Amino acid sequence: MDSALDWHTARALLEWQVELGVTEAISDAPINRFEAPAPEPAKIPMPGVAPPPPVKQPEVDPVEVATKAAQAVKTLDDLQSALEAFEFCDLKKGARHLVFSDGRPDARVMIIGEAPGRDEDMQGKPFVGRAGQLLDRMFAAIGMSRTAPDAERAIYITNVLPWRPPQNRDPSPDEIAMMLPFVRKHVELVDPDVLVLMGNHSCQAMLGRKGITRLRGKWAADGARPVLPMFHPAYLLRNPVAKRDAWHDLLMLQAKLRDTA
């Protein structure tokens, strides 16, 4: 009797295997699963023995990184390069330009504002929008300018933050803390006779105090350096009546410069 399967029987057996879930031919020769090596048993933790703790990646402190970077700086060019290389402030990702400074670095007066706005972000210079134009007129009234040819009548300008916050929002405390080592190094390198702080956030950064309506018109100190808090020009544009107070503060600044000449 012929043991070979006829075509119909072979097909019926294949269809039966397909119904059982056999849909692929793994190899030409059958595999004896009883001879295959047994899988390794799963590792079961022993009772009372704690599993090893997960390996934690070291956390980076942006303020510490900024402090070390600022300490290594020797010149204003080095400081600008250090800021350009600093990658821990998310504001950098959405800004067009780093806004570093404007004016004469040897000026007797250094002005610290809060943060760049749209115009500053586009041009890469501080105080160039409407508030900046008012700032220029304010200091021109006492014979000072960012373009003055001599240090005696010149001003030097920077901000607490070198990058524009989205939608011109206020700087956050974390952003101020992150940038503060660079700002302090900036002041150290310029070494002005007088420091002018424009607005609440620059006062918070440099003096640790807010409340510009209480602070303005009163001399403070940053170490041995006299510090004059003033209304930010953007505030004066919204509140023109406060320009009288700003004029008073400018006269205070002029008198201080005359007394310390």
- Summarised one tens digit per residue, pLDDT across range 91-134 is 999 999 999 999 999 999 999 999 999 999 999 999 999 999 99
Is 24 a domain residue? Answer: no
Per-residue confidence (pLDDT) for residue 59, from 0 to 100: 82
Per-residue confidence (pLDDT) for residue 69, from 0 to 100: 97
Per-residue confidence (pLDDT) for residue 14, from 0 to 100: 75
Q: What pTM, to 2 d.p., does this model score?
A: 0.77
pLDDT higher than 60, residue 2? no
Please report which confidence band the pLDDT of residue 1 belongs to, taking 50, 70 and 90 as the band edges.
very low
Is 144 a domain residue? Answer: yes
pLDDT higher than 60, residue 171? yes
Mean pLDDT calculated for residue range 174-195: 98
Is 35 a domain residue? Answer: no
196 Ramachandran zone, left/alpha/beta (phi>0; psi -120 to 50): beta
Is 8 a domain residue? Answer: no
How many Å apart are CA 125 and CA 15, to the nearest integer?
Answer: 79
Which residue type sits at 171? P
Q: What are the residues whose beta carbons fall under 8 Å from the beta carbon of 158, sequence distance 6 or more?
A: 100, 101, 102, 110, 111, 112, 113, 126, 183, 186
Please report which confidence band the pLDDT of residue 12 belongs to, taking 50, 70 and 90 as the band edges.
confident
Q: C-alpha dihedral over 76, 82, 86, 92, to 10 degrees?
A: 40
pLDDT higher than 60, residue 221? yes
Is 165 a domain residue? Answer: yes
Q: Which of 198, 106, 129, 123 is nearest to 159 (CA)?
A: 198
pLDDT higher than 90, residue 53? no
* Contact status, residue 101 vs residue 111, Cβ threshold 8 Å: no
pLDDT higher than 60, residue 3? no
Is 173 a domain residue? Answer: yes
In the chain, what percentage of residues exceed pLDDT 70? 84
Is 56 a domain residue? Answer: no
Lowest mean per-residue pLDDT among 45-49, 135-139, 162-166, 209-213: 45-49
Count of structural domains within the chain: 1
Per-residue confidence (pLDDT) for residue 196, from 0 to 100: 98
Order of strands, edge to edge, in the sheet holding 109-113?
Answer: 102-103, 155-159, 109-113, 194-198, 225-230, 220-222
What CATH number did the domain enclosing 155 receive? 3.40.470.10
Q: Which of 228, 237, 235 is nearest to 142 (CA)?
A: 228
CA angle 216, 167, 245 (to 5 degrees): 15
- CA 9 to chain CA mean position, Å: 77
Environment class of 231 (CB within 10 Å of its CB; exposed 0-12, middle 13-18, buried 19+): buried
Per-residue confidence (pLDDT) for residue 218, from 0 to 100: 96
Q: Determine the structural domain holding residue 82 and report its residue range.
A: 70-259
Helix (H) or strand (E) holding 204: helix 200-207
The mean of the pLDDT values for the chain is 90
Is 247 a domain residue? Answer: yes
Mean pLDDT calculated for residue range 192-215: 96
Mean pLDDT calculated for residue range 56-85: 93
Mean pLDDT calculated for residue range 71-89: 97
